[in-house]
Structure 1
Amino acid sequence: MAKFFRLLKILHTIGRYRLDEMAHSHHSPRTFKLLLLLFKLYPKSPDNRGARIRRAFEELGPIFVKFGQLLSTRPDLIPDDIVAELDHLQDNVAPFSSELFVEIVERELQGPVDTLFKHFDRQPLASASVAQVHTAVLHSGEDVVIKVIRPGLEPIIEKDTQLLRVIARLIERFTTEGKRLRPVAIIDDYRETILDELDLAREGANASQLRRNFENSNMLYIPEVYWQYSTRNVLVLERLYGLPVTDTAQLESHGIDLKLLAERGVEVFFTQVFEHNFFHADMHPGNVFVSKKTPRDPCYMAVDMAIVGTLTREDQYYLARNLLAMFRRDYRQVAELHVLSGWVPRSTSIAGFEAAIRSVCEPIFEKPLIEISFGEALISLFKTAQRYQMPVQPQLVLLQKTLLNIEGLGRQLYPKLDLWDTAHPYLERWVRERFHPKTLFEDLKYHAPEWMEKFPQVPHLIFDTLSEVKTLAKAAPELKAASKALRQSQSNAMNRSRNNTVKIGAAACMFAGGYILLQAIPELTQAPRESLLLLAAGTLILFFKR
């Protein structure tokens, strides 16, 4: 019952902000069209569509706020004006009690906080939808932050994501843009992402890997993880004291070289993506600081490593060559690389694809280099490729958003930043070194034990495969007949269930419609509640008798 009323609350919020105006239905059943008509009882909103979506998510609570933040990382699917509004979603929520925080820490670490730590601050440093942070001091003297997952969050996530999935299925099935946007896949991706964020051991492991990758670097500093104080629900990290990366006045007052700092941001990005193949995928300004220690040799400091990205070796190679070819305006090679990489089908017309890429990229590259956005150019390229059936690839989407964040930070620090001047030599060197004899020899050494282990089995595998091919050839007629019978059976089952589905959907819409009418027309609430319930029940009985 709680889930049902939560669904009604979501529908009411959709109506209040007139989000129905963004759903252009096609061949919708009468029940879905009836629901859209009921939303029209609400007055129109003066805000633009992006602001309405942002305010609706904020009203529906922290799980929807996190969902909006995920959508803001999908510029390949979501229009720019909506992405810009979703970027402003605030993830600050009221803290839960310090007593409960202490109880969780003591249960997880099996000891009182006053014994575990030299000092523990009972006032929270920060509070967000997923976790809360307090500061402390270890007995050895190090300042640390303690991050704890909000209690009872997993059932709320499960309930809200199930409801989001119901709405996504309706959008995908009955709206014009539904199949292109693939909302069900987005919800499934969101559920996996937010559940991963509940595992602080995973975030700690990400932090340890990033710290190890930049251990001998003066470009990026990652806080140390204190594993003896960390579990799945509690994470203790070194406390960082840095300058906010967006406060240029404070950075300048400390003598930070802003031009070098901006260029290092680009270098940090390409080092993570191509050299380490492990990149921090949530580098928005709230997660990035600048060290005060070496102003003439500036160093970034990053926190919140819950979301990271990796690429396959093939994606790394084709991405680097695509960027090089795109900035040389060699659109033929860009089209060929998309086909060779398998990002678009091999049946794609190279000439037609090349022309489509040219029409998108030429206006971009007519600008001066310092005004060209790497991230936007890459998004435009992939949007064009999606028209040629390029599937959405989460790892490339994460990379696009990270690149946009790095560019935004870099240009805010130093508006004349030329990303191509920094990135071009790096990409050229990386592609060249990939085929260097030393690199090939290292790859050979890495894979040699596995190849040697499998080599004696090769003759047996060949003979087994030939035998299986002969068996399948003999069974082909029977398989074809069974497949035809199965398709016929599925068709009959779908026809039988369609009528029941329509009835259930209509009933749900009628019940939701009653709720929406009560919200939209306050005078109706003056009627006795029992009368309204009897009227609703009687209507449902008459409907199902038909």
Structure 2
Amino acid sequence: MASPDAAGTRARYRRILRFAGWQLTVAWWFELFLPRIGLARLAARGRSERMRRFAQRFHALAVELGGLMIKVGQFMSSRLDVLPPEITAELEGLQDEVPPVPFAAIRALAEAELGVPLERAFAAVDETPVAAASLGQAHRARLAPAEAAETGLEAVVVKVQRPGIDAIVDVDLAALRKVGGWLSRVRLVADRVDMPALVEEFAQTSLQEIDYLHEGANAERFAADFAADERVAVPEVVWERTTRRVLTLQDVTAIKVTDATALRAAGIDPAEVAPVFAAVMFDQLFSNGYFHADPHPGNIFVTPIEGDAAGHPWRLTFIDFGMMGEVPSGLRGGLRTLLIAAAARDGKGLVNAMLDVGVLLPSADTSELERAMTHLFARFGGMGFAELREVDPREFRAFAAQFGDVVRSLPFQLPEDFLLIVRAMSLTSGVCSALDPGFNLWDSVEPYAAQLLREERGDLLQDVGKQALEIAGIAWRLPKRVDELVTRVQDGDIAVSSPRLERRIARLERGTRRLIGAVLFGALLIAGAIVRAEDVVFGTVLMAASVVPLLYTLAGGRRG
């Protein structure tokens, strides 16, 4: 006979699958079957209410079950780009709605992990949690005098896993893999998303998130990336009081990033925080390639700095490094190109960048998409959230219908590495909008894209210069080698005597020098044209200097 735990595990698994199976059946009936038999208008009539009911039911299920269902709901709430507001608005409250675990259970797990009673591990522990999340909860504490003296810290936060969360995560992942398998058989989904791969990416992230040793290492790596950046702060890890299930960190609690009232009371303008937060997230995604994948408001504080001589009166303090993402170097280059194209309102460039990063399959006919993107930029490009709210909803609906037809006709897909990137960018946009309702993401994207473009130009100039120097070096050495060859022939070291050979060698030497001049002329001209966009004086000097090797080349050609 199965134990109660095993029975509960099976019941949880079946509950998730029953919910998913019913919702997929409803979606199939209204979104696929009815339109096929000519009842598309009937299906569309109640779509908004169906979405709201689905979100309400999932919300209730996630709160009741906890575990990874909360994480799934949080991810759905952040997908403002693809999910309707009926779903995202209903699920956004899942960030702060998880009931806490009784302290007695937290104490038992912490003592078992640390190997000593809490009274010996810490001078004091607050039994009321400062935060309760789906996988663990955090309590304020004070280090014992010996550890405080050794670490230089006294106030800490002790994060403890929810008891039994390992088994719950295993069950939830098994259910999600099953649902992913179902979705992979739906052609509309399978053509765009590799659902099994997406679930595995989510699984890997979730398993890392319940390993607090891994989270501690993440925090230190993130801190190292921003060690010289006065905009960012990261809590120190107290490794002496950290295990796989217990994590002790410096207490850095400050003003919640979206608490506008508290920010103003501290003399901080929320509208000034938004662009700094966006820039820090851009640095993580497009420069460092290592980013905080869960930057919701509960994981970011604004920390005032008193008497700061540098003139920067506050910092962004990040916490909770369980969910981190890495952008492979190849993908990072594609994302940089995509950002530059978006900032330049370049529809064709954006589509090409989508092909580069794998969002579109190479076989896609992108002409219609390029036209749609050009129309999108021409009408809505550069608008902030406040401006977009003033656009006539009928115009939005008309464009969405046209754009949707184009998108559905193309082989879009979601690459594996995109899950956390999309989540991070969605949450970034949401936090910035909460800080400043008039926030315009373009105001942050454009200068950052310009910086990336300057870096790309700098790399190009460096490559051109390096190649020119290499060719110049070869060309500089080549006449000397030709002279050595002639000398050896004249001295009799090489028994060859041919006036025709000597004439050919002379022509080779003149041709080589003309080649040097042509290469240097081209390199200086191209470098000057690139640099002139940013520095008119230096760029003009380079372009003028290119005349010298050009004249040499022409003069050499006449002598030849």
Distance 1:85 1:383, change over 3 A: farther
SS across alignment from 2:127 = coil
Paired position in structure 1 for 2:445: 423
Paired position in structure 2 for 1:311: 327
Paired position in structure 1 for 2:523: none
SS across alignment from 2:159 = strand
Distance 1:8 1:423, change over 3 A: closer
2:274 to 246, 262, 266: 262
Paired position in structure 2 for 1:239: 251
The Cα offsets for residues 90-121 of structure 1, whole Å up to 9 and x where unpaired, read as: 55444334333233333323333222222233
Return the alpha-carbon distance in structure 2 between the equivalents of residues 412 and 217 of structure 1: 24
Distance 1:71 1:159, change over 3 A: same
Greater Rg over alpha carbons, structure: 2
- Name structure 1 gaps, 5 residues minimum: 29-43, 445-546
Q: Residue 402 in 1 paired to residue 414 in 2?
A: no
CA contact (8 A) 1:365 1:372 kept: no
CA contact (8 A) 1:283 1:405 kept: yes
2:129 to 124, 139, 145: 124
CA contact (8 A) 2:78 2:427 kept: no
Distance 1:280 1:51, change over 3 A: same
Return the alpha-carbon distance in structure 2 between the equivalents of residues 307 and 283 of structure 1: 9
CA contact (8 A) 2:296 2:427 kept: yes
CA contact (8 A) 2:191 2:413 kept: no
Return the alpha-carbon distance in structure 1 between the equivalents of residues 248 and 439 of structure 2: 37
Return the alpha-carbon distance in structure 1 between the equivalents of residues 32 and 273 of structure 2: 54
SS across alignment from 1:349 = coil
Distance 1:287 1:382, change over 3 A: farther
Q: Residue 297 in 1 paired to residue 313 in 2?
A: yes
Instruction: Give the TM-score taking structure 2 as reference length.
Output: 0.65
Residues 1-40 of structure 1 aligned to structure 2 (within 5 Å): 2=7, 5-6=11-12, 8-10=14-16, 20-24=25-29
1:69 to 71, 74, 83: 74
SS across alignment from 2:213 = helix
2:115 to 101, 110, 118: 110
CA contact (8 A) 1:18 1:45 kept: no
CA contact (8 A) 2:159 2:246 kept: yes
Distance 1:327 1:142, change over 3 A: same
SS across alignment from 2:314 = coil
Paired position in structure 1 for 2:380: 364
1:436 to 427, 452, 458: 458
SS across alignment from 1:241 = coil
Distance 1:312 1:194, change over 3 A: closer
SS across alignment from 2:253 = coil
Paired position in structure 1 for 2:410: 388
Q: How big is the shift at 1:137?
A: 1.0
Distance 1:440 1:385, change over 3 A: farther
Distance 1:116 1:130, change over 3 A: same
The Cα offsets for residues 106-160 of structure 1, whole Å up to 9 and x where unpaired, read as: 3323333222222233343332221121221112251001111122222222223
* Count of residues in Structure 1 that have an aligned counterpart in Structure 2: 422
Paired position in structure 2 for 1:221: 233
Q: How big is the shift at 1:201?
A: 1.2
SS across alignment from 2:417 = helix
Q: How big is the shift at 1:22?
A: 2.5
Q: How big is the shift at 1:324?
A: 2.4
Q: How big is the shift at 1:181?
A: 5.7
2:348 to 310, 332, 344: 332
CA contact (8 A) 1:92 1:129 kept: no
Q: Report the AA paired with residue 430 of structure 2.
A: G
Return the alpha-carbon distance in structure 2 between the equivalents of residues 253 and 416 of structure 1: 21
SS across alignment from 1:87 = helix
Q: Report the AA paired with residue 192 of structure 1.
A: Q
Q: How big is the shift at 1:433?
A: 1.9
Distance 1:125 1:438, change over 3 A: same
Q: Report the AA paired with residue 190 of structure 1.
A: F
Return the alpha-carbon distance in structure 2 between the equivalents of residues 310 and 385 of structure 1: 28
CA contact (8 A) 1:219 1:300 kept: yes
Q: Residue 83 in 1 paired to residue 88 in 2?
A: yes
Q: Residue 49 in 1 paired to residue 61 in 2?
A: no
Paired position in structure 1 for 2:205: 193
SS across alignment from 2:138 = strand
Greater shift in the superposed pair: 221-230 or 358-367? 358-367
CA contact (8 A) 1:262 1:410 kept: yes
Q: How big is the shift at 1:403?
A: 2.4
Return the alpha-carbon distance in structure 2 between the equivalents of residues 281 and 46 of structure 1: 26
Identity of aligned pairs, percent?
28
Instruction: Give the TM-score taking structure 1 as reference length.
Output: 0.67
Return the alpha-carbon distance in structure 1 between the equivalents of residues 102 and 192 of structure 2: 44
Paired position in structure 1 for 2:104: 99
- Name structure 2 gaps, 5 residues minimum: 34-48, 390-395, 397-401, 467-560
Q: How big is the shift at 1:369?
A: 8.7
Q: How big is the shift at 1:404?
A: 2.8
CA contact (8 A) 2:192 2:414 kept: no
Distance 1:313 1:160, change over 3 A: closer
Return the alpha-carbon distance in structure 1 between the equivalents of residues 437 and 298 of structure 2: 20
The Cα offsets for residues 281-336 of structure 1, whole Å up to 9 and x where unpaired, read as: 11111111111325963311121111112222232222222222223332122223
1:273 to 276, 285, 289: 285
2:260 to 229, 232, 248: 248
Return the alpha-carbon distance in structure 1 between the equivalents of residues 324 and 406 of structure 2: 26
Q: Report the AA paired with residue 128 of structure 1.
A: A
- More contact order relative to length (CA 8 Å, sep ≥ 6): 1
